[in-house]
Structure 1
Amino acid sequence: MEFQRRGEPGQEQPVVLVDEVAYDLRDLTADIDGDFLAGDGIARVRQALQAGSLPQVDVTGLRYGPPVARPTAVVCIGMNYAAHAAESGSAPPEVPIVFFKHPNTVVGAYDDVAVPPRSEATDWEVELAVVIGRRARYLPNKAAARDHIAGYAVSNDVSERDYQIALSGTQWSKGKCCETFNPLGPSLVPADEVDAGALRLASWVNDEPRQDSSTADLIFDVEQIVYELSQFMVLEPGDVINTGTPQGVALSKKYPYLQPGDEMRLLIEGLGEQRQRLVAAEVPHGAGATAITR
């Protein structure tokens, strides 16, 4: 079962796919969002499918929107694969490294990604995204996290490494929050249908292989991440957690950084594939990057 939002930005319609057949969810919910997830929306959809009460809908050719609408937070875990920490010149962390992306970075799985003005270090990062289904605060243990996870999706934590490192002031979010820097989807797959600890994830640039790893190599698994985050913040339904990327990014200096005209392709087995074209960001007249200094 795959939850999707199909249509142009701001006009996406909620659907569920079962064996590649799409069913319209608009009789059950206006959108796939935090309210839907918190209101046992996934269970209600299963009941409706079993009852045969959902109409089929043709979504052929319709854009893939982000599979969850308007997340209130995008929380990210850094250096969560040991080999990626090594290629970045860092030791594996002893506790989760946490940073944030602005929620408006989230776009659809096949939407263009805009390279910022004068960027010379835009990078790709395939990641397993966790979508929260129930409010999580001060969870008592790691096992309790399972009941708060709605599902999983493919995420691309696009990063501008100069902004992240040279201009960061020791925090990373400057390099993570440029517009379009978090393609998500195409689908949200319910948590009980996914073995999040054994998923292959991979990426390509211009059809040349870059990353190829498994979530079995996560330093902090998804339940540990949700448990630990709940000790420091309240996670709300619909929030997205990017769980980290494996080795094989341009930061390693093994590959060139991205340029307009390049194409990224990302895959997580069981969750789907996404693809984005890199374009130059449109800059308003009179604006630009002239104020950025090193």
Structure 2
Amino acid sequence: TIGNDVSARSLQFRGSQWILGKSLDNFAPIGPTIVSPDDFDFDNATITTTVNGEIRQQAKLQQMMFKPDAIIEFVSQYITLQEGDIIFTGTPSGVVLGKNESKYGWLKSGDTVSISISGIGTLVNQFK
């Protein structure tokens, strides 16, 4: 499926831990559907993130630093995974953090973020 790894940067940098900036109510939406690995072409899939229709991130899933199998293997050494658990696997380059903020700017109320992965669909979230 697709997950939107939302971050509230104003809260994220209040301390040394990032959990507050990623754990508020309604953060980490997922969807629009779940596909089986047997029905998904990981090797040829592309992820695209747009903000108000402007492409901000785009990459082949093959470019991931750590592939899903390796992530699951690592995490399962420390955490007992249960059916239905969700692991966010990271994000392609293009997040505003570390970029020229005057060019992109942080998300604001009314912005629409769409994340598409070929073979899965598109997750659309409007920020308030």
User: Structure 1 residue 252 and structure 2 residue 104: aligned?
Assistant: no
- Aligned ranges 1:77-226 → 2 under 5 Å: 153-164=1-12, 166-169=13-16, 171-226=17-72
Shift of 1:163: 2.0
TM-score normalised to the size of structure 2? 0.91
> Which of these two proteins has the greater Rg computed from alpha carbons?
1
CA distance in 1: counterparts of 2:25 and 2:96, whole angstroms: 20
User: Structure 1 residue 264 and structure 2 residue 92: aligned?
Assistant: no
Is residue 41–residue 119 contact of structure 2 (8 Å, CA) maintained in 1? no
CA distance in 2: counterparts of 1:239 and 1:168, whole angstroms: 27
Identity of aligned residues (%): 36
Partner SS state of residue 69, structure 2: helix
Partner SS state of residue 211, structure 1: strand
Task: Name the amino acid aligned to 1:172.
Answer: W
Task: Name the amino acid aligned to 1:168.
Answer: G
Task: Name the amino acid aligned to 1:256.
Answer: G
Is residue 197–residue 221 contact of structure 1 (8 Å, CA) maintained in 2? no
Alignment gaps of 5+ in structure 2: none
TM-score normalised to the size of structure 1? 0.41
For the aligned residue pairs, the C-alpha RMSD in angstroms reads: 1.3
Equivalent residue, structure 2, for 1:275: 124
The structure in which a higher percent of residues are strand is: 1
Is residue 196–residue 222 contact of structure 1 (8 Å, CA) maintained in 2? no
Equivalent residue, structure 2, for 1:18: none
Alignment gaps of 5+ in structure 1: 1-152, 280-294
